[in-house]
Amino acid sequence: MEQERTFWQSLRDAWGGITHSLKTERNMRIHATVATVVFLTAWLVEVSRWEWVALTFAVSTVMAAELLNTAVETTVDLFMSTYHPLARIAKNVAAGAVLLMAVNALVIGVIIFYPKLMHLFKVLLLNYFN
Ligand SMILES: Nc1ncnc2c1ncn2[C@@H]1O[C@H](COP(=O)(O)OP(=O)(O)OP(=O)(O)O)[C@@H](O)[C@H]1O
């Protein structure tokens, strides 16, 4: 039996899982880019404390879903290298979880940013014509 691992070894392996997904999954890189843009915009338009909570939660759930999707895809590929309807269902359902979380994050993003960006747009427009 394997020797008991330290907390730091587990943490390093978990981080290795995230970096693996970033290196191998294009969608994960898209999520990371969108997350960076969202956090930068949130900082620029000075969102409230609770809006930070909602955005952080939305972004992390999408990325966590993508990590689980990668885990499902990898596990399916390990056991099924040829076409199988059940493999298709497993992968599609895991991808569906990512889609659901992404739509949820989009709705939260629109609710938070739309009024702020519209306000900013109006201020810039008024300043331009005055
Ligand atoms: N062994 C298989 N049997 C049947 N269908 C499969 C199999 N492998 C993949 N598929 C189908 O192809 C799709 C893409 O699977 P793939 O493993 O290539 O994931 P991906 O290209 O990384 O997709 P994602 O965009 O969800 O990350 C799956 O959602 C599934 O519909």
Q: Cα(62)–Cα(105) distance, rounded to whole angstroms?
A: 7
Average pLDDT value over all residues in the chain: 95
Number of domains forming the structure of the chain: 1
In a domain, residue 28? The reply is yes
Q: Is the pLDDT of residue 1 over 60?
A: no
In a domain, residue 46? The reply is yes
**Residues lining ligand 1, judged by CB closer than 6 Å?**
25, 27, 69, 73, 80, 83-84, 87-88, 91-92, 95
Q: Cα(127)–Cα(130) distance, rounded to whole angstroms?
A: 5
pTM: 0.89
Q: Which residues are catalytic?
A: 66
What per-residue confidence (pLDDT) applies to 130? 79
Q: Whose CA is nearest to atom 23 of ligand 1?
A: 95
CATH number, residue 44: 1.10.287.3610
In a domain, residue 61? The reply is yes
What per-residue confidence (pLDDT) applies to 2? 64
Residues 38-59 as b/e (b if ≥16 CB within 10 A, e otherwise) read beebbeeeebeeebeebbeebb
Q: Whose CA is nearest to atom 8 of ligand 1?
A: 88
In a domain, residue 15? The reply is yes
Cα–Cα distances in angstroms (integers) from residue 35 to residues 41, 42, 62, in the given order: 10, 10, 10
In a domain, residue 63? The reply is yes
What per-residue confidence (pLDDT) applies to 80? 94
What per-residue confidence (pLDDT) applies to 105? 98
77 CA: nearest ligand 1 atom? 1
Q: Cα(45)–Cα(116) distance, rounded to whole angstroms?
A: 7
In a domain, residue 70? The reply is yes
| Other CB atoms within 10 A of residue 115 CB | 11
Q: Which domain holds residue 72?
A: 7-129
Q: What is the value of ipTM here, to two decimals?
A: 0.91
> In whole angstroms, how large is the CA radius of gyration of the chain?
20
In a domain, residue 1? The reply is no
Cα–Cα distances in angstroms (integers) from residue 48 to residues 5, 41, 44, 106, 121, in the given order: 41, 12, 12, 18, 19
Q: Is the pLDDT of residue 3 over 80?
A: no
The string of pLDDT tens digits covering residues 23-70 is 999 999 999 999 999 999 999 999 999 999 999 999 999 999 999 999
In a domain, residue 2? The reply is no
